[in-house]
Amino acid sequence: MSTSMLSQVVTNTLANTVSRLPLPLIWTAGSTQQRTLILGVILAVLSNVLFGVLYAYSSFLAPLSGTQVFIWRMLAMWAVLMGYLLMSGSFGLHLSKLKALRTVKQWAWLLLPTPIFLSQLWLFVWAPVNGQGVQTAMGYFLFPLMMVIFGCVLFGEKLSRLQWLAVALAVLGVGSEIVRTQSVSWATLWVCGTYPIYYILRRLQDIGAITGLLVDLTIFAPFALGYLCFFAPSSLVLVTGSGFFIMMLAGLGLLSVLAMKTNIDASQMLPVNLYGMMSYLEPALLFILAITVLGNPFESAMIYSYGLIWLGIACLMTHGIRQLCRARKNIQMTKMAKAV
């Protein structure tokens, strides 16, 4: 059987399988906006799961430190991304987008979010192995609230009653935790205070996820190599002399690129407030991993604050299910009206 025939068989089989699911009704009969919304939700869920996997990944790379894992992750991501672009033949397309930037002001505007991106990825791999896993997860719980605020203030987006209730419960939960501890970790503040700025800037720039990621990683790659050569040569010897570490870092780079691409794509497809609400899935996974797989401390008093936040997440799920049911009902009614 030829490659083209095999591809056709696989495509037909997949199409027949998917056609039996409830989702294709919305996908095929809905508007372009509805299909974009559905795809954005799927990408958001996938990215959150991938980030959860990556959160625990660094714990399997001992004796590398958190900073060393971050450095290797950046290089692995850059190598995977470059390999993908060259093999797919799309490198020239992204390069042409960058060549269109001719002024210093345009380049400065493009590079403005890069330090935020790098610092967040460093914290993401440093925190779990340095006892800051739960505090970082709290920052990611606060992140969607900040995204909701940006969406309402900058883009005039409106929230439903269930979404407002979810926000209120999350605010109460976070406030309860702050009162209990009488302080807020710097890791928490850094995540919730700067990460929203990165996504908003990338959204305003209207730059593709891959192009932005290519810029961020390429700029940092020389600094990463310099760090390994002059500040962590033992790490360089350890990794290059071990097939296990090479395979693990290759997997780290692949998962990282996929997680970032799906995440940024979702942020550009979804309304800011919906994207912010979907982002609650990630800190929930990070929190669970921090206290189970990574063994970060958890106090029983945290149950009250995190319980309120989980109630907020339940409200978001209810809101999403209602929207899905409403969309399916509207499509069915439209089809019935056309049939008559």
Give per-residue pLDDT as tens, 242-271. Answer: 888 889 888 888 888 888 778 878 877 887
Phi-psi region of 279 (alpha: psi -120 to 50; beta: other; left: phi over 0): alpha
H helix or E strand, kind and range, residue 164: helix 161-181
pLDDT of 54 strictly over 90: no
Residue 274 has a CB neighbour count (10 Å cut-off) of 26
Round the average pLDDT of the chain to a whole number and report it: 78
* Helical packing angle, 114-126 and 209-230, nearest 10°: 60
- Taking the C-alpha atoms of residue 323 and residue 83, their distance in angstroms, rounded to an integer, is 40
Q: Are 49 and 285 in contact (CB under 8 A)?
A: yes
| Residue type for position 203 | R
Q: Are 43 and 269 in contact (CB under 8 A)?
A: yes
Q: Are 60 and 247 in contact (CB under 8 A)?
A: no
What is the distance of C-alpha 9 from the center of its chain? 34
Predicted TM-score of the model (pTM): 0.68
Q: Are 89 and 156 in contact (CB under 8 A)?
A: no
pLDDT computed for residue 116 by the predictor: 92
pLDDT of 25 strictly over 60: no
- Taking the C-alpha atoms of residue 268 and residue 200, their distance in angstroms, rounded to an integer, is 9
Mind listing the pLDDT tens digit for each residue in 275-311? 766 767 777 787 788 777 767 666 777 778 778 877 8
